A and B are shown apart, each in its own frame.
Chain A
């Protein structure tokens, strides 16, 4: 395994004498756990802060399970109607509500620590989704989804979708007005689906909206089905991560054939455990000081009221924004007497469909247009893949614009703007923004790459000005050291795909030429503009051509004769 740690010869086992030794022996004789310990105890994990983002997601999920267990002890998933007899909060006393809502009030106001746990649970859900998204960004921009990790990328997307499902089923449980209106919107979206929409609505609600089945159904999904699948997929996600060994950032000595980092025992395990307590601690801090989803503000579900600021949790905000942006005029079609409400289908079904499809397809698409079939374990610096980075930023731009559009009423009140004007601006930005973001990002990447080239070729500006005998001034540049340079030259700049000619040697038209041509077009989109890494020859050329900022031997003498005080350590 490792170069240093496992060289010691394992001798024939002596009888263990210590208690721990005896226990280990007992266990090993029954489970051969020694094999696993040998495999994992000193397994190396690369270290970088951005590798903790996934950990934050994992640990907030653990916190979700712990706090969720607490909540299930007091929550009653029933829609039976009851009159709230509790004195607190005073605004709820005597109101007709479902048992689900009443038990939520009870656990918040009567159970000690109940409100704390509710708030920790909800904050954990928000942080869970936030860290998943940021973790995905890290994976995307560094190219960690490339072979052999495409499957794990898809598992990750499934985890994100399940996270959305867990959040949605969870915040609807208290049966309050806000989440009730969320369900109502869901019902409206489901009904818009051609042919089966009405029946799907009946299937979800067990009849007409809202009925009295939805809370128990969501409860089963929320505490059993969704977390069950989540757990299984998290296990798969981690298993694949361990099996394939973690990726590492580029740097000296880091190749596709090795992994450089710290051993699991003790450093990685200690840091990971510490991080778990950090995550839990921060969530406890949030739950203690910041109120979240005070359902008694909204009151028990009633189909008539709605409140300003009616929005879902942040991770669903892009759907809300998508619905808000879509213009309604002329977008509901009636075909042969059947209604096709495109004003709902496009924003609520087609747009998220496109976004998720992009995420799922991207690794395969990129591999295809790069013509790449190798394993990658060293990450890319985002600048070295300008098209990918640009597409990622364009995607994020679209996502953020949709989320902002979903908050347009709050933007209007907090920045004293017209909500209609904001909506129009976002309608335009949704199309223009991502294109512009792509272009700007790609240019920035190419610019950074050129700067890297410049540095490798000419070195750092030292700030030392030297005057030649002939009166010419130059600034002395100090060359990069090996590590600095390696970081800037250790990448590939693939060229667009080359394809076989249209006709073969005998002039017969080749089958599949059209498809090849299209792939080549796409490949050009990715790789037409590129900056190649500096080669040793180029550095040599830059030096030997006597660039203005380099001092040749004879010139140096001239300088030292002329300036007298200048010295060089070049």
Chain B
């Protein structure tokens, strides 16, 4: 097809080799277009009874649609959802089925009408090249040039041009600056690095808020933990923000199963086999909550990062890279579990200035 087919530089090979040139003599290069296939008549074109039948079908379908609409109104009045699961289900089902009948009746009728009764002879129309013809194009270019000349900026008044484009480019700032200034709240991104845990904060059960005694945490137990606060605070937006960072998962292992935790030299961050780790995944921040008691593995149901609780919550599988930060805990005088301090590192997913 193309002019470069016989180029010697073309080392490509045709999968099917064309026969030797000799046989091509006297034959056209391509087959001729046979043209649009002959029109075949439908049954409804030749048999008036078939046409009548199709017409009846279409009418029945439209009537069915009307019945669907009526049915939907009847269902609306007669079957109010009583709020229970089954009541809402029945109401939804009836309203929806009637709506579907009403719509599908029109749809099927319309298409059947078009297919069986409307003309089915294919028509041919010409396409025209999309590009404007040379003459019009010349006029367009001339018009543009004239317009440009009229504006008086061609070839001179560089300062004017600069000021014009400068003004256009800059004016959005007058809107963007106040918007961007306020859209991010106080823009204090260092909040990522701290949670509301501090020395002495009691560990409490999520969501009831009951503080937890060390003695209550039996081996094999898992506790979903929040910092203890007041009931009022727990119904505020600040709480939801704080909870997003502060949630902790606490388990008790047999002390001999607990190989390592994250306590630095000279400190003890766990308490008699009780360890508490941030529940916010170091991958992208899902709550890592799926604890397997026998393997001591903690799995994230979102992306399957797996952490080994018996071994300082290090990553054993999945897309997370860092271990879950440990919450240093101890017990207070009344036997309640309390935090020693905030987490030693920012919790949750990584961000650019995380270590700064």
Contact = CB atoms under 8 A, between A and B. Distances in A.
- Tell whether any CB of A sits under 8 Å from a CB of B in the complex: yes
A344 B349 contact: yes
A337 interface: yes
A385 interface: no
B235 A96 contact: yes
A89 B83 CA distance: 7
Interface string B23-38: 1110111110111110
Given A181-B286, A281-B107, A307 B30 contact: no
B1 interface: yes
A119 B187 contact: no
B240 A109 contact: no
B5 interface: yes
Nearest to A6: B125
A499 interface: yes
Nearest to A498: B4
B282 to A, nearest CB: 9
Given A267-B114, A303-B240, A419-B304, A203 B183 contact: yes
A203 B185 CA distance: 8
A96 B104 CA distance: 42
Interface string A60-102: 0000000000000000000101000011110000001000000
Of the candidates A243, A288, A289, A533, the one having the most CB atoms from chain B within 10 angstroms of its own CB is A288
Contacts, number: 420
Question: SS class of chain B's interface: helix, strand, loop or mixed?
Answer: loop
Contacts of B283: 188, 323, 328, 343-344
A509 to B, nearest CB: 17
A118 to B, nearest CB: 9
Given A202-B189, A308-B301, A497 B284 contact: no
A252 B350 contact: no
Interface string B289-320: 11000000000011111000000000101111
Nearest to A482: B34
A306 interface: yes
B240 to A, nearest CB: 6
Contacts of B285: 184-185, 187-188, 209
Contacts of B220: none
Contact of B301 (A208, A253, A307): A307
A492 interface: yes
Interface in B77-113: 80-81, 83-85, 88, 91-93, 95-97, 99-104, 106-111, 113
Contacts of A327: 318-319
A237 interface: no
A281 B99 CA distance: 7
A280 interface: yes
Interface in A485-542: 485-486, 489-490, 492-499, 501, 524, 527-538, 540-541
A541 B23 contact: yes
Contact of A119 (B31, B92, B184, B289): B92
Given A2-B123, A79-B237, A540-B27, A191 B34 contact: no
A271 B111 contact: yes
A486 B19 CA distance: 20
B163 interface: no
Nearest to B5: A495
B352 interface: yes
Question: SS class of chain A's interface: helix, strand, loop or mixed?
Answer: mixed
B266 interface: no
B89 to A, nearest CB: 8
Nearest to B28: A536
A322 to B, nearest CB: 10
A281 B93 CA distance: 14
A285 B98 CA distance: 9
B97 to A, nearest CB: 5
Contact of A304 (B206, B290, B315, B348): B206
B62 to A, nearest CB: 11
A535 B107 contact: no
A206 B319 CA distance: 28
B279 A304 contact: yes
Nearest to A542: B19
A339 interface: yes
Interface in A135-193: 148, 181, 184-185, 187-189, 191-193
A328 B320 contact: yes
B126 interface: yes
Contacts of A258: 124-127
B321 interface: yes
Interface string B1-33: 110110101101111101100011101111101
B352 A323 contact: no
A148 B130 contact: yes
B136 interface: no
A288 B79 CA distance: 14
Contacts of A493: 1, 14
A208 B123 contact: no
A568 interface: no
A195 B351 CA distance: 8
A195 to B, nearest CB: 6
A109 B236 contact: no
A189 B284 contact: yes
A274 B106 contact: yes
Contacts of A357: none
Of the candidates B31, B35, B130, B284, the one having the most CB atoms from chain A within 10 angstroms of its own CB is B284
A450 B15 contact: yes
B210 interface: no
Of the candidates A148, A196, A285, the one having the most CB atoms from chain B within 10 angstroms of its own CB is A285
A185 B96 contact: no
A271 to B, nearest CB: 5
Interface string A225-250: 00000000000000000011100000
Of the candidates B4, B124, B319, the one having the most CB atoms from chain A within 10 angstroms of its own CB is B319
A547 B183 CA distance: 79
B185 A278 contact: no
A276 B107 contact: yes
Interface string A432-468: 0000000000000010001001000000000000000
Contact of B352 (A116, A198, A277, A497): A198
B352 A285 contact: no
B289 A531 contact: no
A266 B187 CA distance: 60
Contacts of A301: 240
Contacts of B100: 281-282, 284-285, 288
A251 B37 contact: yes
B140 interface: no
24 contacts: A5-B123, A88-B83, A88-B88, A108-B88, A109-B88, A115-B88, A185-B302, A188-B281, A189-B284, A279-B107, A289-B93, A289-B96, A303-B247, A306-B302, A308-B301, A339-B355, A341-B321, A483-B37, A495-B10, A528-B12, A529-B12, A530-B15, A537-B24, A541-B19
Given A304-B206, A344-B283, 10 more contacts: A3-B125, A42-B123, A110-B83, A198-B192, A208-B244, A310-B286, A323-B284, A339-B353, A341-B351, A450-B15
Q: Which 4 A-B pairs have the closest CB atoms?
A: A288-B96, A188-B284, A277-B107, A207-B185
